[in-house]
A and B are shown apart, each in its own frame.
Chain A
Amino acid sequence: MEEKTEIPSDAPASCPGPTSEKAGKLDGCAGCPNQKLCSSGEFKSDVSPAEVKKQLLGVKNKVLVLSGKGGVGKSTVTAEIARGLASLDFSVGVLDVDVCGPSLSRIMGVNGETVHKSSSGWSPVYTVDDIAVMSIDFLLGSEEDAVIWRGAKKNGMIKEFLCSVDWGELDYLVVDTPPGTSDEHLAIVSLFKQSKIDGAVLVTTPQEVALSDVRKEINFCKKLRIPIIGLVENMSSYTCTKCKTKSQIFPATSGGGAALAAAEKIPLICSLPLDPRVGCSGDNGLSILNEAPDADISEGYRTLADKIVEFCKPK
């Protein structure tokens, strides 16, 4: 919706302007052809992007983790990106905007914590490695509470997060998102209008069913001009711990992440193997980078962190 600040040519002389609080509501507005739209607030400037910009002034780089497909490891990748960056001595925050399925607090090892609101906003929860975490999970009463909200209400919560969390000074804010291309994603892009999104990491698994959803997400990023840092192919293969046979759990019937990255002309940052230790670590809020630092998957996550740092460096 375009902003309309000028007095319309067919407005009465007493017109307060379409963006005024009194727009459409004065006695003189009666009979004006614009009255209905004006009084609906249609032309009022949305101040949220400016508020978000103010709240994020101390955040140097904002990175989204996206996928059209569910269950490819967005939250896990978000957590390990944050931990990887923290291990490089950056100050990092993570925000979970998956309002209906907030997994991040458990994966980061801080589920069950509560947050407090002060005059400067909501204070994030800090992990043992000093990563600031904010998730709706912290605001829900019990682990059984469901967030049964339609899109507009979800947008409101995301706005609240971005406008009211006291992040302080951060080098990186990494944002975990739900699958799809809907309200939450549009809300984020719209709210970040004035404070830029520095880059997006896209996550896929190798099979075509996943790639076809991620292709849509890549098109979403291109359409909305979100810079793409690159693609991560997760769950690439599994090496049997007993006999070392490598199996393709989700066969790359159409070339996997490599083919998708090549076709879309984006970098394939890394291919992460399916390591059973990740599932257990995630459930227990531990990092695979700490639990198995020499594992191939940990090497992959370190490559990912390095790539993000390189991409976000001032040009």
Chain B
Amino acid sequence: MSGADVTTEVYAGTSDVKKIVGVLSGKGGVGKSTSVAVLAFNLAYKGFSVGVLDADLCGPSLSKMIGLKGNIHSCDQGWVPLSQSVGEGKISAISLSYLVDNQDQAVIWRGPKKTAMIKQFLQDVCWGKLDFLLIDTPPGTSDEHMTVMECVPNCSVILTTSPQAVAAADVLRQVTFCKTTGANILGIIETLSGFVCPTCSDCSLLFNKGGGQRLAEHCKLEFLGSVPIDPNLSKYLDSGTLGSNRDTCVSYQSYDAIVDKLLGIMGVKCLNISAEDGG
């Protein structure tokens, strides 16, 4: 898919974005980017306008996962994100991968340069009228996260973890970060929650169990739900074909209940509950 649509809104920044949500985790590889991609499609198919901002500058996976490729261009007001219609909604995206020619080139940037780029993504991109802006972040509690929180003080946060204690321990530190910065934590998603063998249907806990639920209870946070391991999800994210294959993806469907919970917590009414027959 290429970014053919050009947004007609021509002012920079996030002032017309209704809800900004960062997806964070102290731990790497626990489904931050995956969650952003799936949530974006899920919300768009429900009729919402969704922006995705990839703040993981060293490892920008999101553009591949949502299947939106190209080079961005600028207008008088700032950069114009790539955009595509999705069902009755739309997804707009900004990523460092849209600004570099060689995708294999390492981005060897220190903190200040990363900070400056993320500020530009938030302040110099013409996001226009959006229902949601989802921000993907790298693991950790460093320059990128501090910059997002400083630029967008009203940013809500979703935390992701896998069931392992090792992962939950890192995410516990992320909870402290969120509390320190005053971010509103919407809840915790547990990914990689079990694998169902396609032959005998035995459910195997490949990454231990219980970490997400225990963390939510310990920190008195909402447990948004758990997402099982699904090789199809990995396949579709690699090829950027998640949208058109979502009906064959068990993990994608697990996010339905998570999205409903999130909309409830954020007080957002679903625009069109029959929008799922699009695409």
Contact = CB atoms under 8 A, between A and B. Distances in A.
Interface of A: 68-72, 75, 100-101, 103, 106-107, 143-152, 154, 178-183, 185-186, 205, 207-209, 212-213, 215-217, 219-220, 223, 238, 240-243, 245, 247-251, 253-254, 274, 276, 279-280, 282-283
Given A149-B142, A242-B200, A215 B164 contact: no
B206 A100 contact: no
Contact of B28 (A148, A178, A207): A178
A180 B138 contact: yes
Contacts of A279: 163-164, 205-208
A276 B206 contact: yes
Contacts of A150: 111, 115, 142-143, 146
A249 B180 contact: no
14 contacts: A70-B28, A70-B29, A72-B28, A106-B165, A146-B141, A146-B174, A151-B110, A180-B138, A183-B142, A209-B237, A215-B104, A245-B198, A253-B239, A279-B207
A248 B231 contact: yes
B238 A209 contact: yes
A298 B61 CA distance: 31
B198 A247 contact: yes
Interface string B192-206: 000101111010111
A240 B200 contact: yes
B234 A152 contact: no
B29 A69 contact: yes
A186 B106 CA distance: 12
A283 B27 contact: no
Contacts of B139: 70-71, 100-101, 178-179
Interface of B: 26-30, 33, 58-59, 61, 64-65, 103-112, 114-115, 138-143, 145-146, 162-166, 169-170, 172-177, 180, 195, 197-200, 202, 204-208, 229, 231, 234-235, 237-239
A265 to B, nearest CB: 14
A106 B169 contact: yes
Contacts of A238: 195, 204, 206
Given A213-B61, A223-B106, A71 B29 contact: yes
| Chain B CB within 10 A, most for which of A149, A216, A243 | A216
Given A107-B166, A245-B197, 8 more contacts: A70-B27, A106-B166, A182-B111, A240-B197, A240-B200, A249-B195, A251-B235, A276-B208
B141 A100 contact: yes
Nearest to B165: A283
B208 to A, nearest CB: 4
Nearest to B112: A151
| Chain B CB within 10 A, most for which of A186, A248, A279 | A279
A216 B105 contact: yes
Contacts of B206: 238, 249, 274, 276, 279
Contacts of A247: 195, 197-198, 231
Contact of A181 (B108, B180, B195): B108
Contacts of B238: 207-209, 251, 253-254
A186 B108 contact: yes
Given A144-B175, A146-B141, A249-B195, A182 B231 contact: no
B234 A249 contact: yes
A216 B173 contact: no
Q: Give me the 8 closest cross-chain CB pairs, A-B, nearest first.
A: A71-B29, A70-B28, A151-B111, A100-B140, A180-B58, A146-B176, A243-B200, A220-B106
Contacts of A249: 195, 206, 229, 231, 234
Given A240-B199, A251-B234, A182 B175 contact: no
Contacts of A179: 28, 58-59, 138-139
B180 A148 contact: yes
A40 B241 CA distance: 52
A75 B166 CA distance: 10
